[in-house]
């Protein structure tokens, strides 16, 4: 049974940093498309960052480029999202997602293509 568990969310002031973690069990993340999505209140879920191919290929939404970094630790079977210079518009529920049948991994892949999701972790950025 595949399980994704996010952690690391919280409340910070604008300009602050957080690191989200997504621990996978029942599933090996190496060579799989791993993604972070977020869903702001009242808005649709959007792709934030993706990583695949042992961490050598990453993609970011334009809104987070230069501020967020996705990485993975295959030994810990965990994906991370380092978020720096946070802005109020980054406030959202953040979700980790994956699917073993996504072979071309990027932030343009719609959320409906991902079959496995975590429960989410809330990030709140105050101005």
In tens, the pLDDT along 49-75 reads 999 976 689 999 999 999 999 999 999
Please report which confidence band the pLDDT of residue 104 belongs to, taking 50, 70 and 90 as the band edges: confident
Asked whether the beta carbons of 3 and 25 are under 8 A apart, the reply is yes
d(CA 29, CA 98): 8
Q: What is the mean pLDDT of residues 107-112?
A: 93
Residue 53 or residue 19, greater confidence:
19
d(CA 95, CA 7): 10
Average pLDDT over residues 1-17: 97
Which segment of 11-15, 94-98, 107-111 scores lowest on mean pLDDT?
A: 107-111
3-state secondary structure of 124: strand
- How much is the average pLDDT of 85-97? 98
- Other C-beta atoms within 10 Å of 55: how many? 16
> How many angstroms separate the CA atoms of 42 and 37, rounded?
15
Please tell me the predicted confidence (pLDDT) of residue 103: 86
What pLDDT was estimated at residue 53? 74
Cα separations (Å) of 118 from 4, 7, 13, 48? 5, 10, 25, 15
* Mean pLDDT of the region 75-90: 97
């Amino acid at each position: 049974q595949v399980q994704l568990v996010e952690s690391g969310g919280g409340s910070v002031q604008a300009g602050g940093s957080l690191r989200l973690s997504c621990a996978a069990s029942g599933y090996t993340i190496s060579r799989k498309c791993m993604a972070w999505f977020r869903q702001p209140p009242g808005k649709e879920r959007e792709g934030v960052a993706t990583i695949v191919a042992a961490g050598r290929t990453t993609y970011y939404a334009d809104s987070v480029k230069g501020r967020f970094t996705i990485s993975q630790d295959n030994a810990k079977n965990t994906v991370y999202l380092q978020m720096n210079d946070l802005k109020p518009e980054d406030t959202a529920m953040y979700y980790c997602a994956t699917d073993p049948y996504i072979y071309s991994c990027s932030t343009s892949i719609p959320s409906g293509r991902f079959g496995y999701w975590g429960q989410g972790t809330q990030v709140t950025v105050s101005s």
